[in-house]
Amino acid sequence: METTNSITKPMKSYVNTGNKDTRSGFGAGLTELGLKNENVVALCADLTGSLKMDAFKANHPERFYQVGVAEANMIGIAAGMTIGGKIPFTGTFANFSTGRVYDQIRQSIAYSHKNVKICASHAGITLGEDGATHQILEDIGLMKMLPGMTVINTCDYNQTKAATIAIAEHKGPVYLRFGRPKVANFTDENQRFEIGKAVKLQDGNDVTIIATGHLVWEALEAAKALNETGVSAEVINIHTIKPLDAEAILQSVSKTRCVVTAEEHNYFGGLGESVSRVLAMNDPCPQEFVATNDTFGESGTPAQLMEKYGLNSEAIVEKAKRVINRK
Amino acid sequence: MTTTTDNLTDLVQQVRRDILRMVHKVNSGHPGGSLGCAEFMVALFNGIMDHNPDFSMDGINEDIFFLSNGHISPLFYSVLARSGYFSVDELNTFRLINSRLQGHPTTHEGLPGVRVASGSLGQGMSVAIGAAQAKTLNGDDHLVYSLHGDGELQEGQNWEAMMYAAAHKIDNWIATVDLNGQQIDGATDDVLSLGDVKAKFEAFGWTVIEIEEGNNIEAIHKGMAEAKENTGNGKPVCVLLKTVMGNGVDFMMHTHAWHGKAPNDEQLEIALNQNPVTIGDY
């Protein structure tokens, strides 16, 4: 394995200010939005507590709509509310936000250009003990295939809060994906969230790690471990999977010449494939995937599942070493 | 806008000609249901609804309409064009490439009068509810109207919407169901019986108005006036419109055969002869 140096390089350090769930970031963002934008309305399919929508509901009962366990109806109502200038935020689990209501989203929202924000919690395998019926690992693919759909997967509480507020200003349908477990909260509390703009978290020369969602913190941990072995890893946080920041990716690989993508999603249809397309069209170079391998999940704790399905910092380190060897 | 019943009868006949000529030209489309609802749609857009052909998507301070059974697009397009939403000449582009008049209605090409795409069935009630709730939030006391097929009620989303509408007291919306008793594969009773539709809506907490003669303009005006009187009472309002599929063309009536089939040259001539030109073909 050839690397640029064999001594430890100084790195930016990120402080975990305390583990928090990204869904609470969504709830906090929605609460703030409710106070400052009276056109924002919220709909929930019997998961108000799980989605952390209680404060919005308490502050604005006239703008909160309990739909019951009827997600298809919720999507249609949200589409209709945009006619008259409302900005609907729908809330349920990622599985019931996408696969269950794909045709409703496709026709009534995406094809109809409706300004609906589909907010999806409990995405991925870290939903944990409820098992595979609730752990969707296909939702990014489903949503990114819809013409005109913006797809965002945030990495921590602060970023989820900032994204929730930012998407209200964006005209058009958005899929916002976040999760259930408490994870490291390390991004800036007062960050400006720019849709479609990648965030470079570490500079490096030997490999580019492109991560989204819960895997971003794992990527930072992996970069630290790699650095201790003399491997200089660049880390890019891709919160917006569509539209993808191709420029940031190409700029990084022009230096590192190899990529590891990391996501809590099936590698079919995920961030990794979107990155592959950018590379194939512009600047082909080796890529390895940290993602689930065309499988359903199962019950377990989030940490156990991340380990079993190869979605943690150790897996990223292993793939980084492998991809560097392929250069 | 006030229009006499005689004028509307002429307009209905012209709309029938439009429907027949549109589907004939491209040898595709859905004439049966379109013809069956011609009187209703003509009446709705000429006197019943307070609407503005100078189209705005948000439809603030006007009544707005959603077509849930999007396959009867020939009728929708003809009525919109003849109500001034766009030029009647554009009807000539129905289902052609680069047209705003897609096989099923869409907002995608920016056609005035269309506020949501429809065609994949069963989604219109939910959208109409959302629009009605937005009107309530905006303090806009105008109404939302929607039209649905009877076969379409087999889609489960309708029943989610029906339950929600009653629970949330959506009373600024009139949903009309075209009860023609036919769908693609045959009579609804044979394909999947809807049972007692009136009893089902009532059991879901709706006010139900029945229009027995759904192809009679006076009966439509009377029934829709009754429906309008029933809005604002804390209950959603449904109109069961009993129509004859293919109405106005004798060989297309009372059968599902013309649900999604265009007439050939000879059949078109016979059908047009039964509906002489009144206002002027596009």
What is the DSSP code (8-state) at residue A1?
A: -
Phi, psi (degrees; rounded to nearest 5) at A177: -110, 130
Averaged pLDDT of chain B: 96
- Cis previous bond, B31, omega within 30: no
Tokens of B29: 């489309």
C-beta of residue A189 within 8 angstroms of C-beta of residue A159: no
Contacts of residue A304, defined as CB under 8 A and 6 or more positions apart, other chains included, come to: none
Residue A128 near residue A156, CB atoms below 8 Å: no
Q: Would the CB atoms of A78 and B118 count as touching at under 8 Å?
A: no
A180: its two tokens: 């259930």
- In angstroms, the CA A323 to CA A316 distance is 10
The answer to whether residue A41 neighbours chain B at the CB level (below 8 Å) is yes
Pick among B58, B121, B133 to test the A interface (most A CBs inside 10 A)? B133
Say yes or no: B51 contacts chain A, CB-CB below 8 A: no
Q: Whole-angstrom Cα distance, residue B178 to residue A131?
A: 44
All residues of chain A having their beta carbon less than 8 Å from the beta carbon of residue B106 are 111-112
- The first and second tokens of residue A104, run together, are 């409703």
Distant-in-sequence, close-in-space partners of A67: CB < 8 Å, separation ≥ 6: A43, A44, A45, A46, A73, A74, A77, B164
Average pLDDT along chain A, 327 residues, taken 10 residues at a time: 60 96 98 98 98 98 98 98 98 98 98 98 96 97 98 98 98 98 97 98 98 98 97 98 98 98 98 98 98 97 97 98 97
Instruction: Point out the residue among B117, B126, B137 whose CB comes nearest to the CB of A73.
Output: B126
Tell me the pLDDT of chain B (282 aa) as tens digits. Answer: 445 677 899 999 999 999 999 999 999 999 999 999 999 999 999 999 999 999 999 999 999 999 999 999 999 999 999 999 999 999 999 999 999 999 999 998 899 999 999 999 999 999 999 999 999 999 999 999 999 999 999 999 999 999 999 999 999 999 999 999 999 999 999 999 999 999 999 999 999 999 999 999 999 999 999 999 999 999 999 999 999 999 999 999 998 999 999 999 999 999 999 999 889 999
Cβ–Cβ < 8 Å for A171, A115:
yes
Nearest CA in chain A to B129: A77
In total, the C-beta contacts within 8 angstroms joining chain A to chain B are 117
Closest CB to A78: pick one of B128, B130, B164: B130
Domains of chain A (ranges plus CATH)? 20-183 (3.40.50.970), 199-325 (3.40.50.920)
> Vertex A70, ends A67 and A75: CA angle to 5°?
80
A65 touches chain B (CB under 8 A): yes
> Which is nearest to A107 in space by CA: B67, B23, B91, B147?
B67
Looking from the CA of A177 toward its CB, the CA atoms found within 13 Å total: 37
pTM of the model: 0.96
Q: Which residues contact B55 (CB under 8 A, 6 or more apart)?
A: B85, B112, B113
Which residue from B102, B82, B13, B48 is spatially nearest to B241, judged by alpha carbons? Answer: B48
- Name the closest residue on chain A to residue B140, using Cα atoms: A84
Query: Would you tell me which residues 205-244 of chain B have a C-beta closer than 8 angstroms to some C-beta of chain A?
Result: none
DSSP per residue over B153-189, as a string? GGSHHHHHHHHHHHHTT--SEEEEEEE--EETTEEHH
The closest of A246, A247, A219 to A235, measured between CA atoms, is A219
Q: Which positions of A are catalytic?
A: 71
The reply to whether residue B106 touches residue A112, judged by beta carbons under 8 angstroms, is yes
Domains of chain B, start order: 5-273 (3.40.50.970)
* The one-letter amino acid at B136: T
Chain A residue with minimal CA distance to B161? A73
Instruction: Output phi, psi for B278, to 5 deg.
Output: -120, -50
**What is the average pLDDT value for chain A, to the nearest integer?**
96
